[in-house]
Chains A and B, each alone.
Chain A
Amino acid sequence: MKKQKNNRIFDRLNFLFVIIIIASIAIVFKLFNLQVVKHGYYEALASGQHSLFEELVPERGEIYVEDKFSKKLYPLAINKKMNLVYAVPEQIEDKNATSILLAPLLSMSKDEIYDLISDEKKLYVPIKHKVEGDTVEQIKNLNLSGISYQTEDWRYYPDKVLGSHILGFVGFVNDQKKGQYGVEGYYDNTLSGKNGFLQSEKNTLGEIISGTKNFVQGAEDGSDIVLTIDRLIQDKVETVVKDAVEKNGAESGSAIVMDPQTGAIIAMAGYPNFDPNNYSEVENVNVFSNSSIYELYEPGSAFKPLIVSMALDQNLISPDTKFNDNGKMEIDEYTIQNFDKKAYGDLTVTQILEKSNNIGMVQIARTLGREKMYDYMINYGFDENSGVDLDTEAGTIVKKPNEWSEMDFATMSFGQGIATTPLRLINAISCVANGGRLLKPYIVKKIIRPDGSEETTKPKAVRQVIKPETAETLSAMMVSVMEKGFGQPARVEGYKIAGKTGTAQVPSSDGKGYDPNKKITTFVGFGPIEYPRFAILVKLNNPGGDVWAESTTGPAFKAIAQELLKYYQIAPSN
């Protein structure tokens, strides 16, 4: 009996033991499945919860100008933290009241805000970007439900429209910030820097857990850029151009001031312009283009000094060489006349420039010959980009001389039938100012890297175009244009400044001939003649009425020249 009892107990124990074994095997099997077989899956799942991978965004480099006297840097483009005010519509208790309260603070209409926050299907509605910190504080004080804010990084231009065509702006391309136009576009890689990354572990609050393994590759901030632009001169030039456009009823206008000794651009203005802080509000995107480097046009008589320089350089003419102007010249089926349809008889080359005589110019060009004329035009850089460090410079091509008709050859001598940009023209004229060297224009003075090292731009002479003696002779002839010719409205009392007017026809939009209702006026020059410190070009597109360059761009040229002479403290020549 006792033995049977013992056997039964023993069987139950065995049975229990077996159950335990089976259960243990099951547990081990489950653990094996979870920890070995599905190890990868759960590791990834856990990693997603506690791993942190963040892209580190670099700080975009800023753009400065240097004060001429104190050498301090002033920012034209900086990075600023501003706020996005947004709404969570379903959390807003009283949408009407919220709209009324927000409207004055955000400078929006109550209806506009109400429409945005009314749609409860949307989880999140941005109301306004670029809201200043103090405005956000006022909104916070209202304790409005469903209204919140987040910080955003924006590019900010404290001087608003000043230098807008030079700077460009930072926009979005495929949700990425990208510099467009101007310096922001050309130097986008330099300014952007490089992204970094952070890989670490985070707690339930999303904070990085210190002491855990983490990998950091720091972001490389962008480099800062200092421009050659003088802020005060830039402001003056912009004001002068705007006034000239408005006073003369022109469609648009531009002006460039360069240092002819180095190629540094001191000012570059266009009107109409835009505020890069609000580039998205611009209706006509053509405003973004910098007409000084983008717009091709026929320079007209402003090109004549260069033709004269070519013939002078070849010793084919002198300032006193005479040519006869009988009032008209027949070429093929065309007739070339002077702008005033008059005949002037015998004129010296200097007088041809003073009176902007077309007949005389054609004869000078014929004396030079088309091959030589073509070679000099190439050397003056009319067949290549100037190389200026700004985005969207337009290219141009000069046809080979064997492709010129007789009429092409004739009209090129007085600046029609050849297309160039204002920058290329002033760069060529600057050769005359600096002893005959073609310089590479530049707008960036130096680049300051994040580590503090600096890369300074050195002036670069591309080639010697004309002899220094030729440049000197032509300079004197151009002073004569200012003192005795059509340049007189631009003359500055007491100073010897060289200059030339240009009133050019505009090709017709149908490609046949020129539009009789359109013209482009130009005034280009440099001074003071003893040692030229500046070269100036002013251009107006389609000034209204029957006007010429001396009355439209002449006064603007004078205003800029006077300002420069004062600013540089240049004493009168007399």
Chain B
Amino acid sequence: MTKYLTINKSLNSKNRNKTIKNKLSAGPVTLAIVTVVLFCALGLLFLAQVFQSQTKSYEVLELKQKAEELKQDNKDLEIKSAELRSMDHIKQSAKQLNLVDTKNIVYINKIGNSVVVMNR
């Protein structure tokens, strides 16, 4: 490659050269190097993306596992709730709270839209 820019070390202004622009020419070796570098860069970029997606995938997997654990916790609570509402548990609780069976049931007839009960 010929010089693109030339700076003359001379302090004499007449001798200063300044090359503004020169033709760029690349030989086969240069091309080969550039190609290799480009491919390496692309390869690195690809690898970086793959690694990133792998990392994200593992994070997604972790989140999925966490979601499964929460689902399981929810299920455990549902089971616990069912056990607390089981007939055996209700009967035990009724006993502890001294609840009794209903014995006397009174049915009241409606008169028009009102219902009145007098307890004698």
Binding site for B on A (CB under 8 A): 74-75, 78-81, 133, 156, 158-160, 162, 207-211, 231-232, 235, 566, 571-572
Contacts and interface: CB of A to CB of B under 8 A. Distances in A.
Interface of B: 50, 53-54, 57-58, 60-61, 72, 75-76, 78-79, 82-83, 85-88, 102, 105, 107
Nearest first, the 5 A-B pairs at minimum CB distance are: A210-B57, A571-B107, A158-B82, A235-B87, A159-B86
Residue of A74, A75, A158, A211 ringed by the most chain B CB atoms within 10 A: A158
A233 B79 CA distance: 22
A227 to B, nearest CB: 15
A159 B102 contact: no
A566 B104 CA distance: 10
B98 to A, nearest CB: 20
Nearest to B109: A571
Contacts of A133: 76
A210 B61 contact: yes
A210 B64 CA distance: 13
28 contacts: A75-B82, A78-B79, A78-B82, A79-B75, A80-B75, A80-B79, A81-B72, A81-B76, A133-B76, A156-B79, A158-B85, A158-B86, A159-B86, A162-B86, A207-B61, A208-B61, A209-B54, A210-B53, A210-B57, A210-B60, A210-B61, A211-B50, A211-B54, A211-B57, A232-B87, A235-B87, A566-B105, A572-B107
Contacts of B85: 74, 158
Contacts of B87: 159, 162, 231-232, 235
A235 B89 CA distance: 13
B92 to A, nearest CB: 13
B90 to A, nearest CB: 9
Contacts of B107: 571-572
A232 B102 CA distance: 15
A158 B88 CA distance: 10
Contacts of A209: 54
A306 B54 CA distance: 76
Nearest to B105: A566
A158 B53 contact: no
Contact of A210 (B58, B75, B86, B88): B58
Contacts of A208: 61
Contacts of B57: 210-211
A152 to B, nearest CB: 13
Contacts of B50: 211
Nearest to A232: B87
B14 to A, nearest CB: 63
Nearest to A81: B72
